[in-house]
Amino acid sequence: MYWGEKPGLRVVNVADLSPVGEPFVELLSIDDRPLEWARYSGLPANALERAVPRPRVSRYRAAWQAANAARGATALVSHLPRMTAAVADAARLRGIDTPHLAFSFNFTQLPAPAARTRFRRSLASVDQFCTYTGFEADLYAEVFAIPRDRFRPLCWTQEAPVPGAVHPMLLPSGPFVAAVGGEGRDFAMLIAAARALPQVPFVVIARQTPLLMDPPANMTVHFNLPYATCWGIAARAAALLVPLRDAETCCGHITLVSARMLGLPIVTTRSRGTDEYTQDFAGTTLVPAGSVEGWVEAIRTVIADPDAARAAAAIDHAEAATLYDRSRWSTYIRDFVAQARA
């Protein structure tokens, strides 16, 4: 360090399901002080970790590495609840009290009672939690007995998907609707709607699940398509469908944001877990949870006048690039690091 140069800051970042090199935020300095990142991943890194899927040896290895690296660091950032709990446990065992931010704190389904008790113990030492909705912040604060003021919600942000070329064999011949994603989805509802609309082609792109193994004749199911192909199909659909499990499901944020950034009409379940991504948006149609009739009517309306649906979605598209810009995450992390070093 040169005379007059401000000392650097160091942040330890540990992901659970993302590789070390996957972009998170572009933040190289704070208040003219250089920012160094130490990055770790809970993905399997060797034959042993790949051979033992449960318990996730790779998660606990990464948590231990991150906790060790956090000694003397300015801040510690962990991603997803199970990695956060593992890192918090490792830091406590090592006597490390570096300010800890739990980023992407989201459960697709709340853990069972015994697991909740373990989470409560592990999460008690975490300084701040980032959820993607205010509803989740309220819910997790209550479920895990965490003070609500430790939660600072933030909207999901990303680059817009780039739709790829699609082989004609993957596309229906006429107007169709598409469903993308699998977390927290109500595929039984989707299948019921498809059976009630035999003249409307449905295309579903998801992970393999038993409910989708025997679809109706008008539903085509693709498992694990390439990302660009997936959004190439979705971009050509009359509407993107996001059927959620119930009225409090906290899933679908990424799919909803992606669709808005592409200017696609959306039909989705009305859920408190996604309200901030669906309410008051002209291009989004909300259906009550559990209502097959609601889904059938919404899809009929879109198919009857796809141009009107696209025009409404275009209104949302104009503001989506700003609303979901990744710079919002950079500001959030900058604020946490600044607070951590204060």
Residue keyed to tokens 């300015």 = 74
pLDDT above 70: residue 5 = no
Contacts made by residues 168-176, CB under 8 angstroms, sequence distance 24+: 170/203, 170/222, 170/229, 170/233, 171/203, 171/233, 171/236, 172/201, 172/203, 172/220, 173/201, 174/201, 175/200, 175/201, 175/238, 175/303, 175/306, 176/200, 176/201, 176/202, 176/203, 176/237, 176/238
pLDDT at position 1 is 46
Handedness of CA 316, 320, 321, 322 (dihedral sign): positive
Average pLDDT over residues 229-239: 97
**Lowest mean per-residue pLDDT among 124-138, 152-166, 202-216, 309-323:** 309-323
pLDDT above 70: residue 3 = no
Q: Which fold has domain 168-323?
A: Rossmann fold (3.40.50)
Q: Which pTM was predicted?
A: 0.91
Please name which of 90, 57, 58 lies closest in space to residue 71, comparing C-alpha atoms. 90
In which element (H, E) is residue 318 found? helix 306-323
Average pLDDT over residues 228-248: 97
Report helix, strand or coil for 77: strand
Distance between terminal CA atoms of the chain? 21
286, β-bridge pairs: 268
Average pLDDT over residues 136-149: 98
CA separation for the pair 48, 116 (Å, rounded): 29
Instruction: Summarize pLDDT for 153-194 with one digit per residue, the tens.
Output: 999 999 999 999 999 999 999 999 999 999 999 999 999 999
Average pLDDT, rounded, for the chain: 94
- pLDDT category, 6, cuts 50, 70, 90? low
Token duo for residue 235: 């971009």
Instruction: Summarize pLDDT for 130-141 with one digit per residue, the tens.
Output: 999 999 999 999
pLDDT above 70: residue 4 = no
Percent of the chain with pLDDT over 70: 98
- CATH C-level class of 9-157+325-341: alpha beta
Give me Rg for the CA atoms of the chain.
22
Domain residue spans of the chain: 9-157+325-341, 168-323
Other residues' Cβ atoms within 10 Å of the Cβ of residue 92: 15
Instruction: Summarize pLDDT for 278-312 with one digit per residue, the tens.
Output: 988 889 999 999 999 999 999 999 999 999 999 99
Backbone angles phi, psi at 52, to 5 degrees: -120, 85
